[in-house]
Structure formats: structure tokens, C-alpha cells
Amino acid sequence: MNLGHISYDLRNKEKNYENLTKELTSIGANLHILDSTWLVATPKSAAAIKKQLLRVIDPDDGLIITSASREIEHQALDYDISSWEHQIKSKY
């Protein structure tokens, strides 16, 4: 199981990116931690995630997918990342 970080910059503000949210939630256990940043726990590789997301974003949209370590530091998030992190670590 991989712990990953997905961040994107959607450049067309008038486009409906609802399909992107659907794809992100289908990747694996996820947490939408900032406006355009997600943490995911998934068996998929970064390359597989990129291929999946490229189907629903525009060619000029920015996208970065990285592997995260088991150590996560954070501040002033609107979500309880600690409980999510604990659940993921206990499963994997």
C-alpha cells in the first residue's frame, strides 16, 4: 500500500471538474486536506494515478503526484488528519 500526495492546479475556472473529484475518491482511502490537495492510501503507483487523472483534466492543468513517507507533519488544516493517518497506519 502506498501513501501518496496529489496536488493539482486547475486552470480553467469555468469548467466543471466534478469527474476529477470522482476519480480522486475512487483511487483509494483518501482525505481532501486542502483546496487542491489530497492524501491517498492506494495500491496504485504514481504513474497509474496520473494516467487515471489525465482522463478528466485538461492538458494545461497542473498535476503532481508524490509518494509520502509514513511521517506526516501538518498545521491549520480543516480536517482531522491525525485520526485518518492513524487509521491508515493501522491498516497498512
pLDDT in tens, 23-51: 999 998 888 888 899 989 898 999 999 99
Confidence class of residue 13 from pLDDT cuts 50, 70 and 90?
confident
Complete domains list, the chain, with CATH: 2-91 (3.30.70.240)
More confident position, 63 or 79: 63
pLDDT at 61: 94
The rounded distance, in Å, linking the Cα atoms of 64 and 62 is 7
What pLDDT score was predicted for residue 14? Answer: 83
**What are the φ/ψ torsions at residue 45 (nearest 5 degrees)?**
-80, 165
How far apart are the C-alpha atoms of 8 and 81, rounded to whole Å?
Answer: 19
pTM for the model: 0.76
Give CA–CA dist 50/53, Å, rounded.
Answer: 5
pLDDT of 62: 94
Distance separating alpha carbons of residues 32 and 17, to the nearest angstrom: 15
- Higher-scoring residue by pLDDT: 48, 79: 48
